[in-house]
Amino acid sequence: SIKGFIFDLDGVLTDTAEYHYRAWKRLADELGIPFTREENEALRGIPRRESLLLLLKGRTFPEATLNELMERKNSYYLEYIREISPRDVLPGARELLSEIRAAGLKAALGSASKNAREVIERLGIAGLLDAVADGYSVTRQKPAPDLFLHAAALLGLAPAECVVVEDAAAGVEAALAGGFTVIGIGPHERVGKAHVVLPNLAGARLADLLARLPM
Ligand code: B16
Ligand code: MG
């Protein structure tokens, strides 16, 4: 039976994609590389380094320069996320976390971001999470299942006892590979492989979600 939930951060609990976009766009402008909002969509759930390589579109740089570019993007991102407040928790997310708590189930974060702790603090939801797996937790990133397996281990639960909530194709793939039950957030084209697909968490009640999951 289900004893815990593991939530992705960006695109599930909040929408930091906009801030990631602005930070990458600023870097791309400085480098004279075209970068659109549509291209940013492809970076959803993709770790920082891989995102940079996608943005560079085959341009090569020495390792030290790549590191400097990643640091520069992150400094812009940190500047933008200073604006994040509890109002930025996506509709339904806080209510679902509270319901999970009240039902005696566990909740963890499973985010590829190295800034995840700062973001959940600013959102005011750190206290509703029993464990945090973030961009520092594992080396193999999504679509490898490692991050979610780490989160489940922190909760003391087996994958079969956990539901992963994800908005990125790579994240859904990672969760399925790990043997988790998966709720996909977003369009079918993106998260259709999940066991249950929802447009967002608005109005999502714990009992309804549990009833819709496969046995
Ligand atoms: P950082 P998630 C992911 O968060 C974002 O979706 C992705 O766009 C970002 O590049 C990645 O985190 C790394 O973030 O640069 O802050 O370490 O969706 O896994 O919560
Ligand atoms: Mg995400």
Give tens-digit pLDDT for 104-136.
Answer: 999 999 999 999 999 999 999 999 999 999 999
Evaluate: CB of 175 within 6 angstroms of ligand 1: no
Asked if the ipTM is above 0.90, the reply is yes
How confident is the model over 194-203, as a mean pLDDT?
97
List of E strands, 3-126? 4-7, 106-110
pLDDT tens, position by position, 65-74: 999 999 999 9
pLDDT tens, position by position, 33-51: 999 999 998 898 899 999 9
User: Would you say 85 is a known binding-site residue?
Assistant: no
Q: Residue 107 in 3-state DSSP?
A: strand
Mutate which of 8, 16, 70 for ligand 1? The one with the most ligand atoms within 8 Å of its CB, which is 16
Closest CA to 200 of 125, 37, 90: 90
Question: What is the rounded CA–CA span in Å between residue 63 and residue 142?
Answer: 23
Please give the backbone phi and psi of residue 98, each rounded to the nearest 5 degrees, phi first: -65, -40
Question: What is the rounded CA–CA span in Å between residue 90 and residue 12?
Answer: 7
pLDDT the model gives residue 117: 98
List the catalytic residues: 8, 10
Q: Is the pLDDT of residue 210 over 80?
A: yes
H/E stretch holding 53 reads helix 48-56
Residues in contact with 26: Cβ distance below 8 Å, sequence separation at least 6, in sequence order:
73, 76
Distance of CA 30 from the midpoint of ligand 2 (Å): 26
Is 50 within 8 Å of 99 (Cβ atoms)? no
Mutate which of 20, 46, 118 for ligand 1? The one with the most ligand atoms within 8 Å of its CB, which is 20
Confidence band, pLDDT 50/70/90 cuts, at residue 9: very high
Closest CA to 147 of 110, 97, 93, 184: 110
Distance of CA 115 from the midpoint of ligand 1 (Å): 8
* Pair of tokens at residue 156: 């003391």
